[in-house]
Amino acid sequence: MHLVNRARPLAVALETTLLVHGVPRGEGPALADSLRAAVRAAGADPTFIGVHAGTPIAGLNERELAELFAAPSVPKANTSNLGILLYRKSHAATTVSTTMELAARAGVRVFATGGLGGVHKNFAAHLDISADLAALARFPVAVVTSGVKSLLDVVSTREALETLGVPVVGFRTDRFPAFYVRESDAKVDARFDDIADLARFADAELTRTGRAVVIANPVPESHAISQQQMDTWLAEAERRAAGNATARDATPVLLAELHALSNGATLRSNLALALDNASLAAKIRAAM
Ligand code: PSU
Ligand code: MN
């Protein structure tokens, strides 16, 4: 695999699945601009990761990103189908798992995303576990995230991270956040209140283990959604998505249903947390 590596020394990785599949079509370019600005404002170098015509790139340029946005459809690549998409010379949007794989190869140590994939609900009836979890055990990247998407089984996902030996630390929180919701029933392994302290720990831990560090940063209060409200919307989104929300489409289909039936409240929450994570990731990178 020939990786085009344009990462600069203070690179912060950003994923393309969030841009292409996580927000409605048409909103991706504006989100890309604001993520870039958030990283720069905090003193680091925004580095979009994705696949352009079969070439994996750390640091997509404006033209390449524009071509991904303009393509009729861009497949979502996790660590299982990435190689096939490269071989077929396809474009691809990278999820947390593949953004980490390419970031690690490019030497990028910090990555900002929205929410991690994890263990889907009803796993006793139907097992669906995101490739993100296995990637966290394999690639040495500090991932700044607002926890795991509220549509997953958050407590089981937290347990799975423990099984995989992935440390989960909270930035100014003791609880493991659940994406649009600031708290869940699960805890973090340790709390950090100071960015320089957190950056020192993450840097040392990446070097010590060769695995990821999860840095959990709750959605800003101003854009948080209550657990009760989330439960109501999610039950309705699951009903509406029934049958369509399978396999790789499960996450994008449910997110789109939530954005629609909350009149955009979940989308605004998603954008706010993604930007806040980009900003925190940049501060951590600058402090390393
Ligand atoms: N967070 C968001 N929006 C998203 C995702 C995360 O705010 O669209 C994406 C990430 O790329 C994550 C993926 O890796 O969803 C997980 O998908 P799956 O459950 O199919 O592994
Ligand atoms: Mn899945």
Atom of ligand 1 nearest to the CA of 274: 7
Would you say the CB of residue 277 lies under 6 angstroms from ligand 1?
A: no
pLDDT of residue 250: 81
At 102-160, the pLDDT tens digits run: 999 999 999 999 999 999 988 888 899 999 999 999 999 999 999 998 889 999 999 99
Name the residue at shortest CA distance from atom 11 of ligand 1.
95
Name the residue at shortest CA distance from atom 17 of ligand 1.
117
Would you say the CB of residue 130 lies under 6 angstroms from ligand 1?
A: yes
Atom of ligand 1 nearest to the CA of 248: 20
Please, which residues bridge with residue 56 across strands? 51
At 131-145, the pLDDT tens digits run: 999 999 999 999 999
User: 219 pLDDT band (50/70/90 cuts)?
Assistant: very high
Atom of ligand 1 nearest to the CA of 21: 8
pLDDT of residue 251: 83
Spatial CB neighbours of 4, under 8 Å, sequence gap ≥ 6: 55, 56, 57, 58, 59
Spatial CB neighbours of 36, under 8 Å, sequence gap ≥ 6: 14, 46
pLDDT of residue 146: 98
What mean pLDDT comes out for the span 169-183? Answer: 97
Would you say the CB of residue 132 lies under 6 angstroms from ligand 1?
A: yes
pTM of the model: 0.96
Instruction: Give the other-Cβ count within 10 Å of 201's Cβ.
Output: 18
pLDDT of residue 150: 82
| Residues shown for the chain | 288
pLDDT of residue 155: 96
pLDDT of residue 249: 83
251 C-alpha vs ligand 2 centroid, how far in Å? 8
CB 180 within 8 A of CB 266: yes
pLDDT of residue 246: 73
What mean pLDDT comes out for the span 98-104? Answer: 98
Name the residue at shortest CA distance from atom 21 of ligand 1.
130
Active site residues: 15, 149
